[in-house]
């Protein structure tokens, strides 16, 4: 009889390593542009690993396109078990097709397990694995061995449970690392310190302490088995049975569901940042300080996971091996975790891309996986692209990299990429994250990026973290760069932080800045013109002086861009393709009285699998008003059914080489109402045909530009209509327009009320134009107000400032909120969530809302709801009616009401309250001034330094700790 017992740690590691190598080589050969279906490939990995280590069997999942049929059968049985719990038994009997599929899937799993057992009996081995232990092991009392059918049943259990949980752990771990790139590079650097270029061995695992903490923190936030059930034991004779020292009485037939995922986010244990991914809290010394039962991802008691050591070794090995050889990035930088559940939970629709690290090719990688890497030539992590397996680009090439959440920086990048052709350059454009470890050298690189509350945008966070992780002062020697930064000065403490950080960090790593940094302030409403001025006066002259241009006869003159096209009167509709999905309008209504500036409410059924949190944004891709489109068609004498075919080489945001309806092109691809830029005014000058128009354009593009163009919001179309003698071709007009961008609205609902539907609250601008021409119609407000129940719209959920959400310890953290008008939107979501929690029996700390309106009857938004929620105790509303101050304690504005009720604010602040502020710049500034006055006076009352400067400094110190602000234009 063969010997049996536990497989040795080293032997088990070798088999794990064998399967992991297959995954590594597969991803290496697929290349950096392949979308990795993360959970699918980790499922292949863990299934093959447990089958080989525990049973000596190879599923060979990486050698076939589809998942092994065992996985499909497993998913069928697990899915059926979950769904049938909600279906009456009598109904289940008539589910003939589903019942047959379930029977076939269950039988297939039994057949596979039986074959494994029979194969081992037919081919006996000395291997000390789990299967031999079950076949040859004897009961200590009876001396009997296990029946084959019982062994097969246990095989099914081990295969399912053993691979599902670990694949989920690995998937969540990589998602957490990529969503928190500073942790990603800490983990990768630990692999570099511990393993270096050597072959990974079992002896390395004990020293991977940070990755160990990453896995612990991942299982804390997303335990792959998120709950376990308990009931009163039969031998418990207590009458009645209780929990919590008699506080909770239990019925004997009750089943108690213990939510591990909630237990492990208790802010009393893990702090106010309990929902954040912070591996440092799970390092050994900190981990040992945790209270008993604060971390239970593997279950508890005698039913706890017996495969924990196996799973842990596998997860450590795979994580380290992948980080050693690849740089990863999210396929979609704005991806937010969504959950799919069967027996366990995993992230749904999670994709990433993998690039081999510098100096590694698929060929050298294959050799290194079976032999030490010390003898291989591996360049440093910052080698030029040509040394990293990327083709070296020659000639007048340029790279444009952008970091953009709202689309502005992306639009500016598209503009410079289009302009590059006019200066003799061929430009490539990409997100900043795509340039990690492969910044091109010996060519100009321009970064166009923004800050969001001092943090990088979603598609630049990975790149910024990578920059900050580099230590070699010559790491980026040979990179030539320029930076243009966008920002909003209302966030004074962090204004332009990321553009400055990118610039100084690049220089500190040996890169050469060839042009002074440009910048623009969104508060001035002049970003496109600022960019044009910087590009024309600083950037392009610096490019020419440092890199030269193509010969004049091979490059078009840079005087004017135009779109080469053919125009036909044969209409042909096109379907827009944007980075959004279709939502369905379920309700739309006006919130204000007739005659008032319209404030409206819109409810949208989100696309399947799109989730949101209270406080998030909804991005809406709008359409230009029909009237604006008709004005353009009339100006250029185009029939309504004209079709445009744009030839290659035009602006990168426009579809090329396919017919597009001119109406659709103008309605959905370009911005028609943004202020005309100085550069475009200069272009119009070349087409002016009268001295009066020439003089007017010269005046508008001079010192009067901001007042007469930006403040009055005078568009290019307005200019052409005001001066009909400007003979600007339609192609040039189209090239001057920035691409249509999505608009972001605070979601005004809570998923606790309805997870499938969210609402937004918005205003509609339809007023006399400040330009003196007709009316100014707000693009998105006009578009949204045209939608009715049943209509489709293109939307996506975007994360707001992570601090602009309800605090995790809602029972002990009071809320102090300030808003005016549609600034109420996020707070309606807050209060709706609190009302839902109160209705479910939750205890909550107080919430105080200061809300500015014009009148109690004209524009008191959501009046009935707010009154009902106030009666529940979900909120205490303090109104300020600007037209009816007698109805709001004599206060016209929010800042007056807050000064009057300052003691209530201080009471909640002293109890640990958090402050949230949402409104326009004027309202925000008023609240800020009142807060400064309150803090100053309180300090004086206590005999402290109460100067305004000290009060302002203190308030700034609280920003993004206990005070969170969202300013909208």
Average pLDDT for residues 569-585, to the nearest whole number?
Answer: 52
Question: What SS3 class is residue 638?
Answer: coil
Pairing of strands 792-798, 775-777: unpaired
Tell me the average pLDDT across 483-505.
84
Task: Residue 885: give its domain's CATH number.
Answer: 3.40.50.80
Distances (CA, A) of 185 to 177, 180, 214, 319, 435: 8, 9, 12, 13, 15
Q: What integer is the mean pLDDT of 903-924?
A: 93
**In 662-791, where do the E strands start and end?**
743-746, 757-763, 766-768, 775-777
Query: For residue 271, is it left (φ>0), alpha (ψ between -120 and 50) or beta?
Result: left
Position 693 in a domain: no
Per-residue confidence at 411, pLDDT binned at 50, 70, 90?
confident
- Measured CA to CA, the distance from residue 496 to residue 491 in angstroms comes to 9
Confidence band of 382 (pLDDT split at 50, 70, 90): very low
Indicate whether 563 pLDDT > 80.
no
Domain that holds residue 605: 565-675+698-743
Q: What is the distance between the alpha carbons of residues 934 and 505, in angstroms, rounded to a whole number? A: 40
Pair (427, 314) in one structural domain: no
pLDDT tens figures, 513-554: 999 999 888 767 677 888 888 988 899 999 988 888 754 444
Same domain (yes/no): 164, 213: yes
The CATH number for 668's domain is 1.20.990.10
Tell the burial category of 846 from Cβ atoms under 10 Å away from its Cβ (0-12, 13-18, 19+).
middle
pLDDT at 561: 55
345 and 403 assigned to the same domain: no
Per residue in 84-123, pLDDT (tens digit) is: 555 566 655 656 666 777 778 788 888 888 887 887 887 8
Which of 276-285, 381-390, 459-468, 603-612 is least confident? 381-390
What pLDDT was estimated at residue 551? 45
Same domain, 806 and 954: yes
> In the 3-class helix/strand/coil scheme, how is 567-583 assigned residue by residue?
EECCCCCCCCCCCCEEE
User: Contacts from 18-21 at CB under 8 Å and sequence distance 24+?
Assistant: 18/52, 19/45, 19/48, 19/49, 19/52, 20/45, 20/49, 20/317, 20/318, 20/321, 21/369, 21/370
| Selection from 912, 926, 910 nearest residue 967 by Cα | 926
The verdict on residue 235 lying in a domain is no
Q: How far apart are CA 550 and CA 558, in angstroms?
A: 12
- The contacts of residue 952 (CB under 8 Å, 6+ apart) are 932
Residue 768 included in any domain? no
User: From the candidates 287, 305, 586, 857, which is the catalytic residue?
Assistant: 305
* Confidence (pLDDT) at 447: 95
pLDDT at 64 exceeding the cut of 80: no
E runs forming strands in 778-933: 792-798, 815-820, 847-853, 876-881, 914-919
Q: Are strands 617-620 and 743-746 parallel, antiparallel or unpaired?
A: antiparallel
Predicted pLDDT of residue 304: 64
Domain total in the chain: 4
Burial of 327 (0-12, 13-18, 19+ CB in 10 A): buried
> What is the tally of helices (H) and strands (E) in the chain?
34, 32
Distance (Å, whole) CA 198 – CA 697: 67
Q: Which of 910, 843, 918, 914 is nearest to 874 (CA)?
A: 843
In a domain? residue 634: yes
Single out the residue of 708, 703, 704, 729 nearest to residue 718, CA to CA.
Answer: 708
Q: Is the residue at 228 inside a domain?
A: no
Q: Which of 356, 373, 404 is the last residue of a domain?
A: 356
C-alpha atoms less than 13 angstroms from C-alpha of 440 in its C-beta half-sphere: 23
Q: Which helix (H) or strand (E) holds 662?
A: helix 662-668
pLDDT at 185 over 90: yes
Please compute the mean of the pLDDT values over residues 922-941 and round it to a whole number.
Answer: 91
Give the pLDDT score at 377. 37
Are residues 545 and 597 both part of a single domain? Answer: no
pLDDT (0 to 100) of residue 120: 80
CA separation for the pair 69, 540 (Å, rounded)? 59
- pLDDT tens digit sequence for 842-875: 999 999 999 999 999 999 999 999 999 999 999 9
- Which range has the worst mean pLDDT, 3-17, 198-212, 350-364, 754-768? 3-17
Same domain? For 620 and 648 the reply is yes
Residue 298 annotated among the catalytic residues of the structure = yes
- Domain shared by 319 and 399, yes or no: no
The mean pLDDT of 156-164, rounded to a whole number, is 71
Terminal-to-terminal C-alpha distance of the chain: 80
Among residues 13, 59, 158, 298, the one annotated as catalytic is: 298
> 569 catalytic, yes or no?
no
Task: Tell me if 469 is assigned to some domain.
Answer: yes
Scanning the structure block, which residue is given the tokens 């771990």? 173
pLDDT-based confidence at 190, cuts 50/70/90?
very high
Say what the pLDDT of residue 95 is. 63
Name the DSSP class of 538: I
Type and span of the H or E element at 297: none
Least confident of 279-283, 405-409, 440-444, 910-914: 405-409
Q: Which of 240-249, 318-327, 436-445 has the highest mean pLDDT?
A: 318-327
CA distance 837 to 614: 13
Span 251-263, average pLDDT? 85
| pLDDT at residue 28 in the model | 92
pLDDT at 706: 86
Q: What is the CATH number of the domain that holds 527?
A: 3.40.50.360
Of 513, 531, 554, which closes a domain? Answer: 554
Q: What is the pLDDT of residue 738?
A: 86
- The pLDDT confidence band at residue 1, using thresholds 50, 70 and 90, is very low
Residue 386: pLDDT above 50?
Answer: no
Q: Pick the more confident residue, 69 or 919.
A: 919
Domain boundary among 306, 337, 356: 356
Question: Both 192 and 338 in a single domain?
Answer: yes
Of the listed ranges 202-211, 243-252, 317-326, 380-389, the one predicted with least confidence: 380-389
Burial (Cβ within 10 Å: 0-12, 13-18, ≥19) of residue 659 = middle
Within 386-541, strands assigned E span 397-403, 426-431, 444-452, 455-456, 480-487, 512-513, 518-521
> Roughly what angle, to the nearest 10 degrees, separates helices 209-221 and 181-194?
150
Q: Among residues 781, 881, 763, which one has the least CA distance to residue 822?
A: 763
- Asked if residue 345 is part of any domain, the answer here is yes
Q: Note whether residue 829 is domain-resident.
A: yes
Kindly write down the DSSP assignment for every residue of 17-38, as one continuous string.
HHHHHHHHHHHHHH-TT--EEH
Q: What is the pLDDT of residue 6?
A: 47
Res. 393: pLDDT tops 70: no
In contact, 449 and 430? CB cutoff 8 Å: no
Does the structure show a pLDDT above 60 at 387?
no
| Portion of the chain with pLDDT greater than 70, in percent | 86
CATH value at residue 206: 1.10.630.10
pLDDT in the model for residue 214: 97
Question: Would you give the DSSP letter of residue 715?
Answer: B
Compute the average pLDDT of residues 582-597.
92
Predicted confidence at residue 90, as pLDDT, reads 60
Q: Which of 114, 30, 42 is nearest to 71 (CA)?
A: 42
How many residues belong to the chain?
A: 969
Q: Is the pLDDT of residue 27 over 60?
A: yes
Q: How confident is the model at residue 465 (pLDDT cuts 50, 70, 90)?
A: very high
Q: How confident is the model at residue 179 (pLDDT cuts 50, 70, 90)?
A: very high
- The answer on 275 and 156 residing in a single domain is yes
Q: What is the pLDDT of residues 789-836, one digit of tens each?
A: 999 998 988 888 778 899 988 999 999 999 999 999 999 999 999 999
Given 77, 165, 406, 836, the catalytic residue: 165
The predicted pLDDT at position 78 comes to 61
- The reply to whether 352 and 217 lie within a common domain is yes
| Angstrom distances, CA of residue 647 to CA of 563, 574, 698 | 8, 16, 33
Same domain? For 630 and 736 the reply is yes
Mean pLDDT, the chain, as a whole number? 84
Highest mean pLDDT (candidates 131-135, 394-398, 604-608): 604-608
Q: Are residues 169 and 305 in the same domain?
A: yes
Report whether pLDDT(570) > 50: no
Query: Catalytic site residue 165?
Result: yes
Mean pLDDT of 285-295: 89
Q: Would you give the DSSP letter of residue 554?
A: G
Is the pLDDT at 952 greater than 80? The verdict is yes
Angle between the 408-422 and 527-534 helix axes, to the nearest 10 degrees? Answer: 30
Is the model's pLDDT at 892 over the cut of 90? yes
Query: Around Cβ 283, how many Cβ atoms within 10 Å?
Result: 15
CB 842 within 8 A of CB 810: yes
Model confidence over 85-94: pLDDT tens digits? Answer: 555 666 556 5
**Distance from C-alpha of 227 to C-alpha of 223, rounded to nearest angstrom:** 8
């Amino acid at each position: 009889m063969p010997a049996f017992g536990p497989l040795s740690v080293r032997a088990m590691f070798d088999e794990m390593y064998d399967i992991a190598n297959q995954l590594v080589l597969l991803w290496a050969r697929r290349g950096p542009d392949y979308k990795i279906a993360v959970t699918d490939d980790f499922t292949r990995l863990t299934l093959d690993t447990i089958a080989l280590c525990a049973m000596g069997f190879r599923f060979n999942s990486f050698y076939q396109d589809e998942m092994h049929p065992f996985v499909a059968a497993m998913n069928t049985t697990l899915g059926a078990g979950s769904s049938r719990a909600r279906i009456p038994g009598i109904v289940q009997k008539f589910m003939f097709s589903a019942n047959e599929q379930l029977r076939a899937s269950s039988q297939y799993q039994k057949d596979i397990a039986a074959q494994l057992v029979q194969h081992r009996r037919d081919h006996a081995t000395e291997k000390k694995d789990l299967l031999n232990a079950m076949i040859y092991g004897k009961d200590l009392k009876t001396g009997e061995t296990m029946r084959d059918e019982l062994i097969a049943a246990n095989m099914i259990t081990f295969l399912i449970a053993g691979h599902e949980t670990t694949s989920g752990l690995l998937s969540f771990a990589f998602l957490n690392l990529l969503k928190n790139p500073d942790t990603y590079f800490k983990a990768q650097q630990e692999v570099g310190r511990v393993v270096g270029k050597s072959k990974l061995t079992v002896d390395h695992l004990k020293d991977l302490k940070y990755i160990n903490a990453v896995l612990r923190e991942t299982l804390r936030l997303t335990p792959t088995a998120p709950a376990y059930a308990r009931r009163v034991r039969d031998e418990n004779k207590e009458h009645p049975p209780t929990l919590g020292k008699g506080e909770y009485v239990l019925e004997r037939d009750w089943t108690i569901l213990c939510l591990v995922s909630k237990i492990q986010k208790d802010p009393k244990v893990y702090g106010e940042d309990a929902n954040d991914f912070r591996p440092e809290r799970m390092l050994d010394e900190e981990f040992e300080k945790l209270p008993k039962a604060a971390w239970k991802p593997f279950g508890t008691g005698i039913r706890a996971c017996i495969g924990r050591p196996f799973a842990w070794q596998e997860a450590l090995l795979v994580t380290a091996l992948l980080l050693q050889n690849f740089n990863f990035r999210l396929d979609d930088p704005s991806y937010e975790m969504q959950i799919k559940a069967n027996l366990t939970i995993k992230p749904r629709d999670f994709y990433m891309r993998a690039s081999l690290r510098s100096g590694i090719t698929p060929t050298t990688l294959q050799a290194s996986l079976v032999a030490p890497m010390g003898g291989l030539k591996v360049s440093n992590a910052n080698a030029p692209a040509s040394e990293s397996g990327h083709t070296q680009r020659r000639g007048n090439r340029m790279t444009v990299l952008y970091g953009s959440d709202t689309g502005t920086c992306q639009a500016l990048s598209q503009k410079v990429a289009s302009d590059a052709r006019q200066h003799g350059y061929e430009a490539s454009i990409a997100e900043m994250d795509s340039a990690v470890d492969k910044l091109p050298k010996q060519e100009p690189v321009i970064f166009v990026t923004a800050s969001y509350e001092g943090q990088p945008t979603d598609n630049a966070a990975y790149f910024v973290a990578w920059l900050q992780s580099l230590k070699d002062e010559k790491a980026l020697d040979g990179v030539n760069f320029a930076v243009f930064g966008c920002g909003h000065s209302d966030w004074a403490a962090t204004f332009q932080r990321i553009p400055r950080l990118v610039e100084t960090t690049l220089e500190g790593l040996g890169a050469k800045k060839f042009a002074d940094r440009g910048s623009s302030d969104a508060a001035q409403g002049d970003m496109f013109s600022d960019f044009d001025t910087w590009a024309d006066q600083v950037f392009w002259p610096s490019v020419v002086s440092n890199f030269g241009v193509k010969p004049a006869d091979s490059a078009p003159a840079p005087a004017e861009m135009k779109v080469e096209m053919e125009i036909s009167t044969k209409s042909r509709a096109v379907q827009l393709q944007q980075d959004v999905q279709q939502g369905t309008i379920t309700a739309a209504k006006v919130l204000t009285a007739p005659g008032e500036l319209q404030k409206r409410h819109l409810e949208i059924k989100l696309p399947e699998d799109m989730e949101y949190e209270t406080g998030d944004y909804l991005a809406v891709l709008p359409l230009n008003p029909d009237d604006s489109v008709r004005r353009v068609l009339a100006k250029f004498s185009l029939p309504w059914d004209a079709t445009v075919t744009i030839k290659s080489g035009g602006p990168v945001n426009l579809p090329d080489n396919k017919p597009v309806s001119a109406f659709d092109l103008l309605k959905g691809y370009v911005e028609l109402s943004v202020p005309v830029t100085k550069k475009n005014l200069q272009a119009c000058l070349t087409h002016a045909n009268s001295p009066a128009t020439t003089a007017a354009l010269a005046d508008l593009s001079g010192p009067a530009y901001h007042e007469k163009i930006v403040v009055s919001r005078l568009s290019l179309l307005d200019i052409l209509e005001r001066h009909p003698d400007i003979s600007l071709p339609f192609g040039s007009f189209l090239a001057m327009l920035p691409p249509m961008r999505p608009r972001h609205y605070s979601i005004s609902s809570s998923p606790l009320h309805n997870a499938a539907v969210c609402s937004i609250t918005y205003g509609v601008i339809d007023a006399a134009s400040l330009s003196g021409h007709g009316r100014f119609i707000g693009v998105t407000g006009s578009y949204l107000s045209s939608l009715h129940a049943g209509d489709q719209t293109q939307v996506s959920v975007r994360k707001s400032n992570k601090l602009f959400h309800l605090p995790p310890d809602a029972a002990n953290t009071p809320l102090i909120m300030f808003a005016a008008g549609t600034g109420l939107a996020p707070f309606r979501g807050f209060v709706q969530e609190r009302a839902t929690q109160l209705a479910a029996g939750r205890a909550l700390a107080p919430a105080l809302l200061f809300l500015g309106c014009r009148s109690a009857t004209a524009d008191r938004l959501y009046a009935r709801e707010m009154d009902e929620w106030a009666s529940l105790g979900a909120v205490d509303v303090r109104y300020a009616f600007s037209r009816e101050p007698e109805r709001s304690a004599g206060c016209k504005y929010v800042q007056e009401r807050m000064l009057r009720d300052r003691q209530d604010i201080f009471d909640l602040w002293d109890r640990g309250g958090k402050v949230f502020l949402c409104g326009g710049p004027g309202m925000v500034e008023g609240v800020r001034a009142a807060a400064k006055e309150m803090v100053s006076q309180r300090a004086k009352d206590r005999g402290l330094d109460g100067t305004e400067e000290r009060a302002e400094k203190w308030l700034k110190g609280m920003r993004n700790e206990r005070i969170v602000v969202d300013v909208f234009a």
